[in-house]
Amino acid sequence: MSKMRFMQVTQPKGPFELVERDIPQPGAGQVRIKVQACGICHSDSLVKEGALPGIQYPRVPGHEVAGVIDSIGAGVVGWSEGQRAGVGWHGGYCGHCKACRRGHFFACELGQITGITYDGGYADYMVAHWTALAPIPDELSPTEAGPLVCAGVTTFNSLRNSGAQPNDLVAVLGLGGLGHLGVQYAVKMGFNTVAIARGSDKAAFASQLGAQHYIDSQAQDVAPELQKMGGAKVILATVTNAQAMTATLGGLAENGKLVVLGAPAEPLAVSAGLLITGSRSVAGWDSGTSVDSEDTLSFSKLTGVRAMTEVYPLERVTEAYERMMSGKARFRVVLTMGQ
């Protein structure tokens, strides 16, 4: 039997270890994917640093997978060998728990997360349940598709479900891995888009991404600046700084909503009066399921939205991971399997 390479973490804070083993066979309801590219997401640090209780080690991280299906398990309908498929954070759903029966597949009580509850895409091959698969359009390369099934779907799906309408003022807080995609999607959805970041040097980049406005949060007060523009219908918070998030709240229009995507360690301090008087709200958004990833890939194909990436071969995963963790990558780091 032929072997495959995979990069595993055997214990919290342990190194990546390159291991070879037999290529796995897909079980019932599963497919095997020959991985072509896998993005490195900040959430992979949950596995690497052991920040999430209950992870079983050794574990292969990776939930920004783009590849080709090369074997189909029993009972899989609608997928065939040779078809391109992406697998994101949402690792599949059961279809029969209470959340699934209500159509809330993202909240499936089985809670399968790719690269966390089962082995992910830092490998030549991986196995996934068919409910985790999104077809990849021909127009997108593997390194383009990978980041879009996590960072992409998170920003695209939260914006399209935010309640904002074309021409509404929508602000994106942060211009990093999530934010640079959020700005592009907001523009392409027809929102009057404001990018908010630290420093005047990012204004040109925001404009390059299509943003109509830029607020430098180091030099300007974000809330009054947003109010001068009429107030934001939605603020998409992609940063992990709780104070930076709450500093924007006064910039919400009536019925405006702060949508939280980044996860600060500390709680958000929110003025109840501000929420009550303008019927404003603070909400979170879970990224999305495979059909949301499918829509994200399709919309990105149609509109030209792409993540900016830095690409590394699988063997250089340690360097690539450290680059991502440094916060200096522009803007998503992607592994390729070189086959």
Number of other CB atoms surrounding residue 224 within 10 Å: 10
Spatial separation of the C-alpha atoms in residues 122 and 45, rounded to whole Å:
13
Least spacing, CB of residue 309 vs Zn ion, in Å: 14
CA 246 to chain centre: 22
Q: Does 209 bind Zn ion (CB under 5 A)?
A: no
Spatial separation of the C-alpha atoms in residues 207 and 214, rounded to whole Å:
8
- In the chain, where do the E strands start and end? 3-9, 16-22, 30-40, 65-72, 84-87, 125-129, 133-135, 169-173, 192-197, 213-216, 232-237, 252-260, 281-284, 309-313, 332-336
Q: Can you tell me which of 43, 112, 155, 238 binds Zn ion, judged by CB under 5 A?
A: 43
Spatial separation of the C-alpha atoms in residues 137 and 298, rounded to whole Å:
7
Find the binding residues for Zn ion in span 223-252 (CB under 5 A). Answer: none
Least spacing, CB of residue 142 vs Zn ion, in Å: 17
Task: Report whether 17 contacts 320 (CB < 8 A).
Answer: no
Spatial separation of the C-alpha atoms in residues 120 and 143, rounded to whole Å:
16
Residues 6+ apart with CB under 8 A from 122: 6, 7, 8, 16, 38, 60, 61, 62, 115, 314, 317, 335
Find the binding residues for Zn ion in span 171-190 (CB under 5 A). Answer: none
Q: Which is nearer to Zn ion, 100 or 175 (CB)?
A: 100
Q: Which is nearer to Zn ion, 108 or 140 (CB)?
A: 108
Q: Which is nearer to Zn ion, 93 or 185 (CB)?
A: 93
Integer CA distances (angstroms), 186 to 85, 198, 205, in order:
25, 20, 15
Q: Which is nearer to Zn ion, 134 or 206 (CB)?
A: 134
CA 47 to chain centre: 16
Q: Which is nearer to Zn ion, 43 or 293 (CB)?
A: 43
Least spacing, CB of residue 177 vs Zn ion, in Å: 9
Least spacing, CB of residue 98 vs Zn ion, in Å: 8
Least spacing, CB of residue 186 vs Zn ion, in Å: 20
Q: Which stretch binds Zn ion (CB under 5 A): 33-41, 187-195, 201-209, 230-238?
A: 33-41
Q: Which is nearer to Zn ion, 100 or 126 (CB)?
A: 100
Least spacing, CB of residue 104 vs Zn ion, in Å: 9
Find the binding residues for Zn ion in span 80-109 (CB under 5 A). Answer: 93-94, 97, 100, 108
Find the binding residues for Zn ion in span 128-167 (CB under 5 A). Answer: 150
Spatial separation of the C-alpha atoms in residues 316 and 327, rounded to whole Å:
18
Radius of gyration of the chain (CA): 20
Number of residues that bind Zn ion (CB under 5 A): 8
Least spacing, CB of residue 189 vs Zn ion, in Å: 21
Q: Which is nearer to Zn ion, 286 or 315 (CB)?
A: 286
Q: Does 41 bind Zn ion (CB under 5 A)?
A: yes
The site for Zn ion (CB under 5 A) is made up of 41, 43, 93-94, 97, 100, 108, 150
